[in-house]
Every structure is written in C-alpha cells, then in structure tokens.
Amino acid sequence: MIGRVMGNRYELIKQLGGGGMAIVYMGRDTLLNRLVTVKVLRPEFTSDRDFVQRFRGEAQAVARLSDPNIVSIYDVGQEDNIHYLVMEYVEGDNLKNLIRKLGVIPVDRAIEIAGQISEALQHAHENNIVHRDIKPQNILITKGGRAKLTDFGIAREATTATLTQTDTIVGSVHYISPEQARGGTADARSDIYSLGIVLYEMATGVLPFTGETPVGVAMKHIQESPTPPANINPAIAPELQRVITRAMAKNPADRYQSAQDMAADLLQPATVGGGELSLEADEFATRVIPTVHSVPVIRPHTERKKNKGKKRPPIFWLGLVLLISVIAAAGAFWYYVNVPEIDMPNVAGKTEAEAREILRDQGIENILVSHNLHPTVAQGLVVSQDPKPNTKIKITRTVTLSVSMGQDLREVPEVIGQTLYNARIRISVNELNVTEPVQEIYSDNYPAGVVVDQDPRPGEKLAVGAGVLLSVSKGPQPVDQRVPSLVGLTIEDAGGELEKLNLHLDSNTGQATSMEYFAGQIISQDPPAGTEVREGTTVQVTLSNGPGPQRQVARVQALTPDDGGEHSLKIVVRDAKGTNDFHTETYPPGKKVVKEVPYYGKAVIQVYIDQALAGEQSFE
C-alpha cells in the first residue's frame, strides 16, 4: 500500500499503526500539499456490512463536529473495494505511550488533559454523538501539548434506534462502563466513566481494574470498587480524588450528568492545587504531626476551692477548644515551615535501589514508585522523577519515580510465503512495522510480490513499533538471449521464433516499400539480429508493403557420377519467397542435367547428389 494514491489525491507515505478494524497511514494530500492521516479498513472486514457501516459511520459522526480537541475528518472514499477515511494529521503521540514513558503524569498536566477531553466530549454529546471507546490510545497529544480525541469508530448517534443493541459489548474492556459491560445502553455518562478511568490512570500510573481475561475485568467494573487514587499517589488532592470517584460511579445517576460539569470541577482551584505547587500543603494535611501538649493553667488554691463543685459554662469549654486549636495549628505551622529544604537529586538512569538510597541519604522517606514498560531504558532503571532534579523541595515531599520494566516486546510473525500486502497486515497486528523500503530480489522459488525472507526471523521478540526487514520476490532471475534474424519472415513466423527465447514481438509494426521483400515480410528489426538482450525484451519490426523483387531465371547444370548406378538429384532454391525444393529426380550414371531455375531477389541455389551438397551459387 505504501506509495499508492487513494482517490487520485492521497499518497500513502508510511504506516503509523493499526487497530482491530483498520490500518493507519501517514499520507500526503497532493492537491493541498499537506500531511494527512489515512485510515484504511482491513480487507478481512470489507465484506462485512456491519463493519463497513461502522467505519463509514465514524466519518458521518465526526464530520458534523468542529472542536479544537477533536481530530477533524476531511474525506471518506472507496476504491477497488478499499474503504478509507482521510483525517487531520496530528504530529505527536498518543496518551497511552506518554503514560508508558512517564509512569505517572504530573497531576496538573493530567487535569489539563482531562479538561480538554471533557470539552471535546461536551461538544460531541451536544451533537448527540456518544464516543463509547474513550481510552488513552484514542487521545493524541500534539507537540504543542493539546489533547485531541480521535477514533470515533464505534461511536453511535444517541437515538432510540441505536441504543437498544445489547447483544454485544463494544469498547476496550479496561475503560468500559458498567452498563456497557452488562451489554446495556451507553450514553454520555458512559463516556464520562471511561474518562474517569483515563484520569485515574494518568494520576496513578496504573489501571483501576485488571484481570487475566476480558470477562474478569468487565465483572470488576460491575462489582468492585477501585483502590482510592490518593492511596497510590499521595500527590492527588482530595478534591481531585472526588472528581475521579464521581466520574467512576457505578450508577450513571451518581456520575457527572455532563462532561461540562466534570470540566468545571477539574478547573476548580482546589482541584488544580493537587499539582506540583500545592503538594507540600497536601503533605501538611496528611503527615503525622508530633503531639502538641496544652499549656496548664495554674490557679490559686483558694480559687479552686471557691469554685469547687461549680459547673463550667459552655463559653468556657468553647474558649478552651479554640485555644487548644490555635496552639496546635501554631505548632503544626512551626513544624511545617521549619522542615529542611534540599536540592532534589537527579536519580534518572539509576537502579531503583540506588535511587532509594540516594533519596534516603538526603532525608527523603516518602517515595512512590511505578513500574512501566519503556522502549529504550533498560529494565530496573529510573526513567523519570517528580519533582525534577535541582528543584528546591522539603524532605517531607513525596517523590514519584517511574522505573522501567524494559521494552514492551512483541513476537515477530512468520510472513515468508505471504504476499507483501498480507505480510504488512500480520506485522501491524503484532504492533510492529515493516522497515522501508522493502528489498526486492530475484527468486526461482517464489512468484513476484511474495515475501522471500525476513529479518528478524519468526518467533523472535521486538519492541513495540520496531521494524521488520522484508525481502520480496521480483520473480526468477532473467537471462540474456541473442536476438534471432527475423528479416524475410512473416509476423506469425517471427513471433514463434521470439517466443522460443522468451522474447516478445511489438504489436506496433512499421510499413515500408521494398523491392527486395514481398508484402507482409519483415524487412528490418530492432534490436538487430545477434544483439544480446534480457528475457522479456520486445523486438520491433518493419514490414514490406511490396511490390517485392522481380522474377529471374538461372541456368543450372549437373552431371551424375558414371559409376554404373542410379543417383538422386535435388535442386534447392533459397530466395525472397523462402526455401523450396525446385527439382527432385533420379538419373542414370553419367547423366548431364540442365534446368532453368526461377528465383526472386537475392538467392542461393544448391545442387544435391545423393543428399550430399555437390554445388552452390549465389545470385543477386
């Protein structure tokens, strides 16, 4: 598919990835000279009307949406049973890869991303479009940092007709809402639930529900409550945790009733304060504070005796509580402001054990570690840290480390013997890419267009997105042939001679007047006779259109041997008409034979006695 131009306009440049329904390519709009994303429906689904309708439904759904946080669709088309969508090209990466890279998204950044997607969903919901597949893989992050929602492949218009389909569960199981898991109705609140899980994953680095099977995960969405996110990442403020918890409520009635409401809560100062700037304040609210002792009030003995047995008025106890609160707050504030500050050390590239030791040597005890796959950093090494190196922090600050679990590996499939098109699909399904350009080699064992070899070999493991080098057959190695002489032959005879050598006769023939060759005979050829060419070469010829040579006569004499026996005599003429036996007869010994032999154009006349050449003469 690489290099193909769809709809006489969209040139496919390289493959970007692939999902369950489609393969995604970077393309170039040759008309407007801009990059685009072209999504091509997988060939195994083109005969499935449901898939085709769902695929084209994405274009119809998104075409009427216009929001800076939604990837725009430019065009939709079909060519040679290939269905494709043309979309805005977003230079950046998807949110899932960003989470894999960072482990935990800084809280303020996670809130910003969730807020932008909330705005995108609000716009879609206002246009009666329910996405139904909100997940980090469908959220693109541009180089400028904007979040864009894409892949409305299973979106549905929120109408009665489309909300009664309960026989199948559509969506990604780790982000699916409880009502979708039950096969029930999905509405705008289902998208809000899924966005809540995405926010949970960004802020904690982990999914709220995991399991060995999709059904097991779906059941957890229905039955279980997730670990509170602040228990995993103490940097999450209580206000942000309440937003996540409300978005992920099991009962849709308990969730936000609109994405706009969720966005409004995300932008509240207390929620945003869960980011880097207020992390220390959050620690003040949750860390263990030494006991603050109240100051005793000493009164004279007589005073105590005088008041003995009297009941204290309520105002006394209220004042006492206020006094103790003020003293406790003052003590806590004194403790907080006097916590030592240090320069945050750089532990990126260290092992987890080394990083912990370095941090503890600095007095940092609150260390949160998340383990994530990483395409380049070796297993066990720190990928990133929060706070950043060389920033001033208090030693009570919680430090978040993302530690690499190594590469996310995929098995290289067996594609030798497959067509290049099918090989690309099998490789992309395993989340790998074909290294471009594909190598083309001659092969006697595989027809043209079939994969002959691959590197790495089948069964080896590669990181997600890595390339597989393919060698594709160009067919058997052609050999050189010597062009035969075709002059004087008819078209039919010339074609037969060329076919023996795997050469071809050009169907476009020239015409010329010739006194040497009859009409319909070849008078010249290109390449000339004797030229060495590759098999498959085409030879052009020019035909005579007459009048041809005049008839001439040669006098031929022959004498049979005088040895007492009979002898056969044959006269052969080779001229413009071809080769023919002019005379064949048996004669007695010593017989002199004289014949008038006609010929046309250049000729060679031969005399054979008893099948042996006895004489030969050329004539012009």
- Three-class HEC string of 264-280: HHHCCHHHHCCCHHHHH
- Report whether CATH 3.40.50.150 matches the domain 480-547: no
| Tokens describing residue 1 | 């598919």
Residue 510 to residue 274: CA distance in whole angstroms: 86
| Tokens describing residue 77 | 């088309």
pLDDT score, position 287: 29
Rounded to two decimals, the pTM is 0.46
User: Could you tell me which CATH class the domain 92-286 is placed in?
Assistant: mainly alpha
The question of whether 67 is a catalytic residue gets the answer: no
pLDDT digit string, tens, across residues 122-168: 999 998 888 888 999 999 999 889 999 988 754 444 433 233 233 33
pLDDT score, position 598: 95
Q: What is the CA radius of gyration of the chain?
A: 44
Q: 1-89 architecture in CATH?
A: 2-Layer Sandwich (3.30)
Kindly state the helix (H) or strand (E) to which residue 540 belongs, with its residue range: strand 538-547
Residue 320 to residue 314: CA distance in whole angstroms: 10
CB contact at 8 A, 558 and 614: yes
Residue 443 to residue 318: CA distance in whole angstroms: 96
| Tokens describing residue 209 | 């529900």
Please tell me whether residue 108 adopts helix, strand or coil conformation: helix
- Report whether CATH 3.40.50.970 matches the domain 409-473: no
pLDDT over 50 at 530, yes or no: yes
Note whether 1-89 and 92-286 share their fold: no
Classify domain 551-619 by CATH number: 2.60.40.2560
What residues contact residue 296 under an 8 Å CB cut-off, 6+ apart?
none
* Bridge partners, residue 40, by sequence: 23, 84
pLDDT over 70 at 274, yes or no: no
pLDDT score, position 153: 53
Please tell me whether residue 498 adopts helix, strand or coil conformation: helix
Q: 253: burial class by Cβ within 10 Å (0-12, 13-18, 19+)?
A: exposed
Per-residue H/E/C for 273-336:
CCCHHHHHHHHHHHCCCCCCCCCCCCCCHHHHHHHCCCCCCHHHHHHHHHHHHHHHHHHHHHHH
User: Could you tell me which CATH class the domain 341-404 is placed in?
Assistant: alpha beta
Q: How confident is the model at residue 277 (pLDDT cuts 50, 70, 90)?
A: very low
Q: How confident is the model at residue 282 (pLDDT cuts 50, 70, 90)?
A: very low
Residue 553 to residue 597: CA distance in whole angstroms: 5
Place of tokens 């009409």: 519
pLDDT digit string, tens, across residues 431-469: 789 999 999 999 999 999 999 999 999 999 988 788 999
Task: Go through 596-609 and write b for each residue having 16 or more CB atoms within 10 A of its CB, e for each that does not.
Answer: ebebbbebebbbbb
End-to-end CA distance of the chain: 62
CB contact at 8 A, 25 and 14: yes
Domain boundaries of the chain, sorted by first residue: 1-89, 92-286, 341-404, 409-473, 480-547, 551-619
CB contact at 8 A, 121 and 131: yes
Catalytic residue among 108, 133, 151, 386: 133
Helical spans, DSSP H, in 546-593? none
* Bridge partners, residue 619, by sequence: 603
pLDDT score, position 297: 35
Please tell me whether residue 215 adopts helix, strand or coil conformation: helix
